[in-house]
Amino acid sequence: MSEIEDKIREIAKKLLEEGKVKYFIGYAKGSDAFCAKPIIIDDPKDVDKLIWSPCCVNNLAVYLVDEIKKKPRRGEEPDLRPVGIIAKACDERGITVLLQENILPRERAYIIGIPCSGMAEPQKLEKLAGEKGISHKAIYDMHIREEENEFSFEAEGVKEALPRDEVLADKCKECFQHNPKECDIVIGESVENPQIEKYVTIKELEDMSLEDREKFWEKIFERCIRCNACKEVCPLCYCEECTVEKAKPMRWCSKSVDKSNNAFYHLMRAMHLVGRCIDCGECERVCPMGIPLRKLYKKLEKEAEELYGYEAGSSSEDVPLFAAFTNDDPDEFE
């Protein structure tokens, strides 16, 4: 792990010193040990703030959209140099969709790919730390590492191995593509992709009756507080004005927070992510109300695969699902 960290710093330093990138997007230590936080640095002196740990869950591709949307000040020459960005395989797939959809010109990003066999979920780490009786004070200085495919944490002089299965983020358990492809440079050895059963997360739901499924989602959507975090962290929710905010000439979605409007919001988002969602799991991770959004998007991912043999973000050469048409396309939903 620390080898990767050193390499990240080295590359970032070089890129910034040579002025090859405008700035560098990576991870820094969060205020507690469970979360690494995104950081944007433009000074080579700051590269030591960059880290790599099993807590680097955020999908940083969302900041590329920020960069593309930036408007230069009047009279100012736009700085079109690329932005350095660290990308795990799932993040890279997000960037690939941005490339496919012509949102991001390829030359605007310098992609540092890191093969990844899974990240830890902050909530799970926190729970484990609690069970092991780690004091609050220690939480801040705790080190969480991955060495030879094993997670461990070290706090108050005690080092403890963490059962991989218990801390791995759910999305990582279902990840079948560990190696980023669309990269300018790759750090670390490539990892073997696992043979996993796809779509286990939605199996239980699929087996439910339509009525039960409706009840399931109704109960869950009722909890939503419409903080829009799911849409704001999504690198593919890049519309200038979202349907839910659009008020001119009429409001499509009421600001009233209730079952029906919340369902409208989530289903609208889901529909706009068919064949685009790359399962980085950010929406589900950030949801304060514990809404299992991945279950929604995973189902649509499955539909896209089964109906059209389409896998989102697998190649920047692919025509996006909704931009492609062949005579063989199935014309009805089951």
Contact positions toward another protein, by CB under 8 A?
A: 30-32, 35-40, 58, 62-63, 123, 135-137, 139-140, 220, 223, 225-229, 231-233, 245, 247-251, 254-258, 282, 285-286, 288-290, 292
* Residue 174 vs 282, nearer CB to another protein: 282
* Residue 257 vs 270, nearer CB to another protein: 257
d(CA 10, CA 110): 15
Write out the H or E segment, with its range, that includes residue 28.
Answer: strand 24-29
Strands 143-147 and 150-155: what pairing? antiparallel
- Give residues with Cβ within 8 angstroms of 146, minimum separation 6: 1, 53, 54, 152
Q: Which residues pair with 113 in a beta bridge?
A: 87, 186
Write out the H or E segment, with its range, that includes residue 138.
Answer: helix 136-141
- Give residues with Cβ within 8 angstroms of 14, minimum separation 6: 20
- Give residues with Cβ within 8 angstroms of 250, minimum separation 6: none
DSSP label at residue 329: S
The CB density around residue 46, as the number of other CB atoms within 10 Å, is 17
* Residue 27 vs 310, nearer CB to another protein: 27
Min dist CB 275 to another protein, Å, is 24
Min dist CB 231 to another protein, Å, is 8
Min dist CB 129 to another protein, Å, is 9
Min dist CB 148 to another protein, Å, is 28
Question: Is 271 in a helix, a strand, or coil?
Answer: helix
* Residue 30 vs 94, nearer CB to another protein: 30
Min dist CB 68 to another protein, Å, is 15
* Residue 217 vs 310, nearer CB to another protein: 217
* Residue 49 vs 181, nearer CB to another protein: 49
* Residue 139 vs 304, nearer CB to another protein: 139
Q: Taking a C-beta distance cutoff of 8 angstroms, is the pair 139, 129 a contact?
A: yes
Min dist CB 66 to another protein, Å, is 9
Min dist CB 282 to another protein, Å, is 8
Min dist CB 311 to another protein, Å, is 26
* Residue 182 vs 284, nearer CB to another protein: 284
Q: For residue 113, which of 16, 183, 56, 172 has the smallest C-alpha distance?
A: 183
Query: What is the per-residue burial (b if ≥16 Cβ within 10 Å, else e) of 194-223?
Result: eeeeebebbeebeeeeeeeeeeebeebbee
Q: Taking a C-beta distance cutoff of 8 angstroms, is the pair 104, 95 a contact?
A: yes
Min dist CB 265 to another protein, Å, is 13
* Residue 133 vs 309, nearer CB to another protein: 133
Q: Left (φ > 0), alpha (ψ -120 to 50) or beta: where does 71 sit? A: beta
Q: Taking a C-beta distance cutoff of 8 angstroms, is the pair 35, 11 a contact?
A: no
The CB density around residue 130, as the number of other CB atoms within 10 Å, is 10
